[in-house]
Chain A
C-alpha cells in the first residue's frame, strides 16, 4: 500500500489536522471561523468536481447554497419539518432544479455557460430578496438549532466536530468518484468533449450528473450553515458569493480535492486575519490572487506538489 496516494495519505493528513487544530483554539471564535472554513471546503470539493474535473464553470453556486439554507429555514420554522428531513428535502429539490436547468444550459460552452449559471444564481438571489412574505426579504430570517433524534447540535465546538467529520466524508466521496469510471469519463470531457464522445462517453449525461452532485453539496452545506448561524440573509446567495466560491477552487487548485480545501480555508481565514488592516484588505487579497494566478496558474496545491516533484527528480 502506498501511503502517499491522495486517498489514504491525504485523508489521514486531513483527519490529523482537524483533530489537532483545536489545540491552538483559545476561544469559540476560532471554532466558528474553522467551521465556516470547513463548510466552504465541503462546498468547494463539490464545485471542484464540476470546474476542475469536468471543466464546466458555474457562477451560480451560491444560489444553490442559499436555496438549501432557505429550504431548511422555511420548512423548519413555518411547517415544523424536522431539520434532518428539511435538509434532505431541500437537497433533493435543489438536485431536481439543477437537473432540470442543467440539461439545457450545460449544452452551452465557455462564456455562454458562465452567463447562464450566473443568471440562475441572480434569479435565485432576487426571488429570495423579494418574496419577503416567505423569506423575510433582505432583512433575512431566523431558524432554530439542528436537532435529530432528540440530540441537538449546539455551540461552536460541537459544530466543529460535525463539520470535520462531514469534510472528511466529502473528501473521501469525491476521491472515490474521481477514481471511478464516472471520474475518468469526466476527465475525458474536460480533455476534449468531442474526443470523449467519439470513444463512447455520454458527455451531456455526465456533465448534468456532476452539476447535480455539486449543487446537492452546496444545498447540504447551506442547510447546515443556516442552522449553525441561526439567521440567514439573501446575501449568502449573491453573485459575489458565487464568485468567491469559484475563486476558492481556482486559488486552491483545480482538479484537486485537497486543493479545494486549502483554497477554502485560505479565503475564509484571510478576511479575518486582515480585519485589523481593514482599509487594505481588498488590496492585499487582490494582490495574493494576482500573484497566485501569475506564478501558480494551476492553483496553490498542484503547483507546490509539482515543484516538490521536480526538486526530488533533480536530486
Chain B
C-alpha cells in the first residue's frame, strides 16, 4: 500500500511539472498538421506537397525555427479518400492538437474535412483547386491554388484579345475537367465568346477523333479549348494534329507539367495554356516580383529531389509561408489570432502569384497570377501580350 502511495505521489508531482511546462512556454514547438493524398490516384498532387512541406520545415528548424520555436510537422496520408481525410483531420485537431492545418490535396478530401474544421475552429489552408472551397467564404478555410474558373477566365480573356468569338469546347468527363467545363460555361459569356460545340471524353479514352471531328465540322470554330488533366489532354492534342485542325488549341492549367509535353510529343507545339510563373521563371520580366521567389523555389526543390518542380509543390510552399507569416504577425499560435492574420495576408509573393486576402476572398489571387504560355520546341514560352 505504501509503495502505491509513493508511486501515486511521484505521478502527481510529475503531472504537476508537465502542467507547468505545458503553459504556453515559448520553447513549445509550433505544431502544423497536414493531411495529403501522398498515395493513391491523387498522389501526383500529394507527394510533391508532402516532400515540400517536409523539406522546408526541416530547413526552418535547422535555422532555428520561427520566433525561437521549432516547428513540428505531422503529416497523414489520406490516399485520396474523403472519409479517411476527415478522420485524419479530427486526429490532427483532437489528438495531435495542432495549431494549424495544411492540406486536402483534392477538393473532395478538403471538403470532407471542412465541416469538422469549421466546428473545431482551426486555421486551415487547403491545397485543392475548386471554387467551392472558398465560395461561399468559410471562416477558418483558406486556399492557395488558382481555381478552375480563373483558368477559364484567363483563357477566354486571351481569346477575346485575339478576336476569337466562336470556340469548340472539349472536356474530360471526370472531376477536374467536369468542374472546369461547368465554370467555363458560367463565365464564357462575359467575354463575348460563344461555345458552338461542346464535347466530352472519358479519362481512359484512347482516341477522341470522333469528338474532335464534330468540333472541326461545327461552323465558324476559331479555337478549341480542352479542360482536363493526365493523359487525356495529350491524346486530344495528338488527335488534334492528326486531323489537321488549323485553329489554335488551348489547354487548361491542368497540363502545366513537363509530362504533358513528353506525352504529346511534337503535337504539343503551339498549344497555349495558362500557367503559374513557376513553370517559366527564367522568362519572367526582371521587374516581376515573382521572379526571385519562383527561381529560388525551383532551384531548391530540384536540387533536393532531383526531379522537375511542379506547381503542386508550389501550392504547399505558399501554404506554409502564408501560415508562418501569419503566426509571426500574430506573435503566438492563438488560433483566432492566426486566422485573422491569414485573412490579412497582403502582397505575399508566392509561387502561385501575388496573394492578397480579405474577409470576402480567402484565396487572394487575381487573374494576373496566371501567365499565358505557348509550347515551343518542347518547352514553355511566355506569350507576348
Question: Which residues of A are interface residues toward B (Cβ below 8 A)?
Answer: 26-30, 32-33, 36, 129-130, 132, 137-140, 142, 156, 225, 229-233, 235-236, 271-272, 275, 278, 281
Contacts and interface: CB of A to CB of B under 8 A. Distances in A.
A278 B91 CA distance: 15
A272 B178 contact: no
Nearest to A137: B178
Contacts of B75: 278
B110 to A, nearest CB: 9
Nearest to A129: B174
Contact of B112 (A26, A229, A278): A229
Contacts of A130: 173-174
B331 to A, nearest CB: 27
B86 interface: yes
A291 B111 CA distance: 37
Interface of B: 38, 75-77, 80-84, 86-88, 90-91, 93-95, 107-108, 111-112, 114-116, 130, 132, 173-175, 178-179, 182
Given A29-B95, A32-B87, A278-B77, 16 more contacts: A28-B90, A29-B91, A29-B93, A32-B94, A132-B182, A137-B178, A138-B178, A139-B111, A139-B179, A142-B114, A156-B90, A225-B83, A231-B111, A232-B112, A236-B83, A271-B84
A271 B77 CA distance: 10
A30 B93 CA distance: 12
B87 A33 contact: yes
Nearest to B82: A233
Given A235-B83, A275-B88, A27 B173 contact: no
A233 B107 CA distance: 10
State the main secondary structure of chain A at its contact with B. Answer: helix
A64 to B, nearest CB: 16
Contacts of A129: 174
A235 B86 contact: no
A109 to B, nearest CB: 31
A233 B37 CA distance: 15
B94 A28 contact: yes
A18 B275 CA distance: 54
Contacts of A29: 87, 90-91, 93-95
A231 B82 contact: yes
B163 to A, nearest CB: 33
23 contacts: A29-B90, A33-B87, A130-B173, A130-B174, A132-B182, A138-B175, A138-B178, A139-B107, A139-B179, A140-B82, A140-B112, A142-B111, A156-B90, A225-B83, A231-B111, A233-B82, A235-B82, A235-B83, A236-B82, A236-B83, A271-B84, A275-B88, A275-B91
A16 B292 CA distance: 63
Nearest to A26: B95
A137 B181 CA distance: 13
State the main secondary structure of chain B at its contact with A. Answer: helix
B223 to A, nearest CB: 26
B108 A140 contact: yes
B173 A235 contact: no
A185 B91 CA distance: 45
A235 to B, nearest CB: 5
B94 A142 contact: no
Given A28-B94, A139-B108, A272-B91, A132 B178 contact: yes
A30 B87 CA distance: 10
A225 B87 CA distance: 12
A130 B177 CA distance: 12
A246 B289 CA distance: 55
Contacts of B84: 271
Nearest to B88: A275
A231 B86 contact: yes
B143 to A, nearest CB: 14
Nearest to B132: A139
Nearest to B107: A139
Nearest to A35: B87
B112 A36 contact: no
A60 to B, nearest CB: 18
A242 B298 CA distance: 42
A229 B88 CA distance: 12
B108 A235 contact: yes
Contacts of B114: 142, 231
A233 B95 contact: no
A230 B86 CA distance: 10
Contacts of B107: 139
A236 B111 CA distance: 15
A45 to B, nearest CB: 20
A230 B87 CA distance: 12
Contact of B90 (A32, A140, A231, A271): A32
Given A229-B83, A232-B82, A236-B82, A137 B90 contact: no
B232 to A, nearest CB: 15
A274 B323 CA distance: 28
Contacts of A28: 90, 94
B114 to A, nearest CB: 7
Contacts of B93: 29
A231 B132 CA distance: 14
Pairs A-B, 6 closest by C-beta atoms? A233-B82, A29-B94, A138-B175, A230-B115, A27-B94, A29-B95
A137 B94 CA distance: 30
Contact of B81 (A33, A225, A235): A235
Contacts of A278: 38, 75-77
A21 to B, nearest CB: 16
A130 to B, nearest CB: 7
A194 B174 CA distance: 46
A271 B173 CA distance: 32
Contact of A36 (B38, B87, B95, B179): B87
Contacts of B182: 132
Given A138-B175, A230-B115, A278-B76, A27 B81 contact: no
A275 B87 CA distance: 12
A124 B326 CA distance: 44
B276 to A, nearest CB: 22
B112 A233 contact: yes
A139 B130 contact: yes
Contacts of B94: 27-29, 32
A233 B174 contact: no
A102 B153 CA distance: 49
A275 B95 CA distance: 13
